[in-house]
Structure 1
Amino acid sequence: MSVLLIEAFYGGSHKQLMDLLQEELQEDCVLCTLPAKKWHWKARTAALYFMQTVPASTKYRILFASSVLNLAELAALRPDLGKLKKVLYFHENQLAYPVQKCQERDFQYGYNQILSCLVADVVVFNSAFNMESFLTSIGKFMKLIPDHRPKDLEKIIRPKCQVLYFPVRFPDVSRFMPEHKLAHLEKVIGAKRNEDGYQSEDLSGQQKSRALMKNSKAQCESGLCEAQPGLYTTQHEGLPSPLTAPARSNQSEASESTNPCQEDDKQHLTFNLSNILSGQDYQQRPLHVAWPHRWVEAVYCGCYPLCPKALVYPEIFPAEYLYSTPEQLFKRLQNFCKRPDIVRKHLYKGETAGFSWAALGGKFRSLLAAEPREDL
């Protein structure tokens, strides 16, 4: 158990990452968490809680934590943990996270993250935008201090920083993907595997599912099939989630992510399978507009991304999927609603394979590899 995983807000993407690392590292790690409630209190007091609850061990070599934790406080309260190689992962940063008004940004939370970066050995961000928006905001942020301001903090922190995208273990989407999109997905992933030399997700399961879907088509000709609920994710407490209601109302549409002929006693979906798989009726059905919260997953599952030309989106999506003004967004949505076949026939021109655990797993393993130190 050489890796100590600490998550002060164990929910949503924070939980997803820690669970993935724990599963991959298996016997080589210990996971300590706090529930995903009252985020602000966790950010301010978690270090004191973990001081008392993290078990002492001489086997620890690496401490991996998200930036919710005040790493400086924990290192001071537990000198034994302060000696470890400390890796801090930023899902988001408090210097650039949107607030309604500037005066609503609480100084202490951004200040905590700066202190954590100064103490950490490696600081990892989930995007270049996240990293640059944090680093370039430090100077302006510290000017809020009335006098005796520290200097050159960005220069001290930047050499420790790197970008490592959030790893996704993509689900098997072959059960509900249209045939032309599934064929395209298999082609892209196969080509990427050959070019980069990494092991992509096993497509044999998807191919088997395609065969199963074709074989079960005759069994579903009545048009009455039942589907299990789809994948759900959570979001930080207190963080804004615009357009949540429309997305929630379309849970039955998202639930096609599992075998349409499996039973589930919580939710049922009725549809004509032959019309969904192909044909004019499928192409002309009304569009469903969703706010997925997890874009890299939504696109993989066949959604057409339509994102603002701002924040992290230009880093992830090709230019044709971005809009600059609300008027542009309205016009594009209007056009898609008039011609839903444009979206349904569209083959995504970006790539998602690079965000998979298969592509990023090796980098995370290297990050969590212990480096020999005399004081360990």
Structure 2
Amino acid sequence: MDDSTESSLLVLEAFFGGSHKHLLDLTLPILPEKSYYLLTLPATKWHWRSRCSALYFSQRIPRNRKFKKLFLTSCTNLAELIGLRTDLASCEKILYFHENQLVYPRKAEKDRDYQHCHNEIVSALAADKLIFNSMYNQSTFLNNCEQILNKVPNTEFQPIRLQIESKCRVLPVPIDFDKIPKLSKKMNDDKDALHIVWPHRWEHDKNPDLFRDIILELDGKNCDFRLSVLGEKTLTVPESISEICSKIGHKLLHAGFLESKEEYFQTLAESDIVLSTSIHEFQGLAVMEAILMGCFPLCPNRLVYPEYLPEKCLYSTTAQAVKFLTNACRSANSFRKRSFNIDLSHYSLKKLSKEYVQLLE
């Protein structure tokens, strides 16, 4: 946090971890020195951060400063914050969406917490600029905001999309290519098994059940492969992950979060295929990092993935994913020699830094 009275940009992050932290770690250092004032909350208890961060920040933002811009993510209710701190109303208010809750997958619609959806909608109305990390994120938000409000009983709202669409733009979370290590790809011989990596949080929205189904069906075909199950664990390990560990533990090379970034990248460099089974993904930094480390991506033909992956990398059914992996396992050496070119250069920090400076300076 910059204590200088010269700060003209106020930055708030209610969930300072993952892609949220990644974005600020890359973009704030490229801004002029002493140009921002940063307040954060730890990346825990997301639901409480969403409900209460506006009150928390309202009590900690200095009152003796006049900020010109306010940059925050949709985890904080912007409308509530401005109501509590009316002195911030004159700021240019920039709201960044790493994800949106309007399409968060639920087993049943009755399980959806509409308060989080409402918070994002009123925040969008209160903001001057809305920034989304992908076109998929933007379109799903715009396409669903009125549908969500239509569920409010005995209430009719004016059209919301028309009020916010002109404020929207897409600006991805950048990747610093200079920090991606130049590790040589492991050249295996014919006897080396295919190495599959699943680099996601062990949570519902990353669909560990589908991951289990694909991997156990692949194992049932007597395919030789090795598996790394990375990503952050939750307090309760999903039953599907436990099932993988118990049934094919002899094929597991890693199971759990790798604290060392060097070890993480080394594991990616030694892997052949990065597998995603997500049902909630708006950019996919973990998949992008794996691609940059030489992994072939095998991802669902939905969500954000079709924005930057060719058709050959996408599957629509479990059977398609299993068939692709089966063929790759049975001719692992030939698979490793195949070339694939996925251009992620438009996500590089060098390409995006100018736009972020213009946005935040």
Give me the TM-score of the superposition, normalised by structure 2: 0.74
Report how far residue 237 of structure 1 moved: 7.9
Note if contact 2:228-2:254 (Cα within 8 Å) is conserved in structure 1.
Answer: no
Structure 1 CA distance, aligned partners of 2:260 and 2:43? Answer: 28
The partner residue of 2:355 within 363, 366, 370 is 363
The partner residue of 1:247 within 219, 222, 229 is 229
1:21 paired with 2:33, answer: no
Q: Deviations over 1:81-134 (max 9, x none)?
A: 221101100010010121222111111000000000000000011100110011
Q: Secondary structure at the match of 1:136?
A: helix
Note if contact 1:127-1:312 (Cα within 8 Å) is conserved in structure 2.
Answer: yes
Structure 2 CA distance, aligned partners of 1:290 and 1:129? Answer: 20
The partner residue of 2:48 within 25, 33, 41 is 41
The aligned counterpart of 1:221 is none
Structure 2 CA distance, aligned partners of 1:36 and 1:238? Answer: 17
Q: Deviations over 1:303-336 (max 9, x none)?
A: 1001111111111111111112111111101001
Structure 2 CA distance, aligned partners of 1:256 and 1:37? Answer: 20
Q: Size of the alignment, in residue pairs? A: 296
Structure 2 CA distance, aligned partners of 1:255 and 1:173? Answer: 16
**Which is greater in Rg?**
1
The aligned counterpart of 2:11 is 5
Q: Deviations over 1:243-287 (max 9, x none)?
A: 5994235459x99985xxxxx9xx9x9xxxxxxx9xxxx9xxx95
Structure 1 CA distance, aligned partners of 2:63 and 2:254? Answer: 45
Q: Report the residue type matching 1:94 in the other structure.
A: Q
Note if contact 1:9-1:34 (Cα within 8 Å) is conserved in structure 2.
Answer: yes
Q: Report the residue type matching 2:332 in the other structure.
A: P
Q: Deviations over 1:133-160 (max 9, x none)?
A: 1100112111111122212101101110
Note if contact 2:133-2:172 (Cα within 8 Å) is conserved in structure 1.
Answer: yes
> Equivalences for 1:113-128 in 2 at 5 Å?
113-128=120-135
Give me the TM-score of the superposition, normalised by structure 1: 0.71
1:32 paired with 2:39, answer: yes
The partner residue of 1:173 within 178, 181, 184 is 181
Note if contact 2:273-2:295 (Cα within 8 Å) is conserved in structure 1.
Answer: no
Report how far residue 289 of structure 1 moved: 5.5
% identity of equivalent residues = 37
Q: Secondary structure at the match of 1:305?
A: strand
- Which segments of 5 or more consecutive residues in structure 2 lack a partner in the other structure? 1-6, 188-198, 213-226, 231-251, 277-283
The aligned counterpart of 1:151 is 158
Report how far residue 240 of structure 1 moved: 4.4
Kindly indicate which of the two structures has a greater share of residues assigned to strand: 2
Mean Cα deviation higher: 326-335 or 360-369: 360-369
Mean Cα deviation higher: 146-155 or 241-250: 241-250
Report how far residue 173 of structure 1 moved: 2.7
1:314 paired with 2:306, answer: yes
Q: Secondary structure at the match of 1:157?
A: helix
1:347 paired with 2:339, answer: yes
1:57–1:241 CA distance, 2 compared to 1 (3 A)? farther
Q: Report the residue type matching 1:73 in the other structure.
A: E
The aligned counterpart of 2:139 is 132
1:137–1:172 CA distance, 2 compared to 1 (3 A)? closer
CA RMSD of aligned residues (A): 3.2
Q: Secondary structure at the match of 1:99?
A: coil
Structure 1 CA distance, aligned partners of 2:332 and 2:113? Answer: 44
Note if contact 1:66-1:88 (Cα within 8 Å) is conserved in structure 2.
Answer: yes
- Which segments of 5 or more consecutive residues in structure 1 lack a partner in the other structure? 180-232, 259-263, 270-276, 370-376
